[in-house]
Amino acid sequence: MPAAPAAPDTSLVRRARKVDRVLAETYPDARCELDFDNAFELLVVTVLSAQTTDRRVNAVRPTLFAAYPDARAMAAADRERLETIVGPLGFFRAKSESLLKLSAALVEHHDGEVPARLDDLVALPGVGRKTANVVLGNAFGVPGITVDTHFGRLSRRLGWTTETDPVKAEHAVGALFPKRDWVMLCHHVIWHGRRCCHAKKPACGACPIARWCPSYGEGPTEPDVAAKLLKTEGPA
């Protein structure tokens, strides 16, 4: 029988949870930045958000779901019309194909409804673990950790994990926090990654969690310089 994984260091747990508390205070409005009204809409917009911004996806959402409000309607969509609607997002042929296959699978295997189980979600065409965790956490209230590029970058900068594999990082970071905190933890970290802890030049000198960050100094530490790097919103 394989040995159980070692429990995380107590000091690391305390530091990680303190960081999350400060981020919660810093971003009290943190949430999923994709607009949606139900699980189907969230699944679709999350799939569409690959290689584009949430803001662009939100812009096409009203037209998309006015035309195709559910999986049955989208599975029967005219391909050219669907491509026209999602065209502003780029890769419109591939994305349209993904939506058609995804919707058809929902109709065929789940009576048109979005399943609320991880194994069922990742079995759907074009749905990976990251997308599944977004849907589970935000549409169904099922605890999960969404390791997108921001979450992965920050979890390594903060010393929570050294893993670059998203699944391994998900498990490593999850061990530091109670399950009930996982969904909001992701929102806090992702908002911070989009607004302050940027990939190329983090705003270290204006960072609210700088004192607990082992990577402090990767970006400008002068407060006035760092402040100019802050963003008030997610990516345009």
CA terminus-to-terminus distance, the chain: 50
Please determine, for residue 1, whether its predicted confidence score (pLDDT) is greater than 60: no
Query: Cα(58)–Cα(49) distance, rounded to whole angstroms?
Result: 9
Is 148 a known active-site residue? yes
**Structure confidence at residue 3 as a pLDDT band (50, 70, 90):** very low
Query: Cα(180)–Cα(60) distance, rounded to whole angstroms?
Result: 32
Task: Considering the candidates 120, 148, 181, 228, report the single residue annotated as catalytic.
Answer: 148
Residue type, 226: A
Q: What is the pLDDT of residues 82-140, one digit of tens each?
A: 999 999 999 999 999 999 999 999 999 999 999 999 999 999 999 999 999 999 999 99
Task: Considering the candidates 130, 168, 201, 231, report the single residue annotated as catalytic.
Answer: 130
Its pTM stands at: 0.92
Q: What domains, with CATH codes, occur in the chain?
A: 10-30+150-227 (1.10.1670.10), 39-139 (1.10.340.30)
| Average pLDDT of span 20-46 | 98
pLDDT given for residue 2 in this prediction: 47
For residue 103, give every residue at least 6 positions away whose Cβ sits within 8 Å of its Cβ, in sequence order, or none: 68, 71, 72, 74, 75, 77
Q: What is the Cα Rg of the chain in Å?
A: 19
Count of positions (residues) in the chain? 236
Q: What is the pLDDT of residues 138-162, one digit of tens each?
A: 999 999 999 999 999 999 999 999 9
Query: Cα(5)–Cα(99) distance, rounded to whole angstroms?
Result: 39
pLDDT given for residue 161 in this prediction: 97
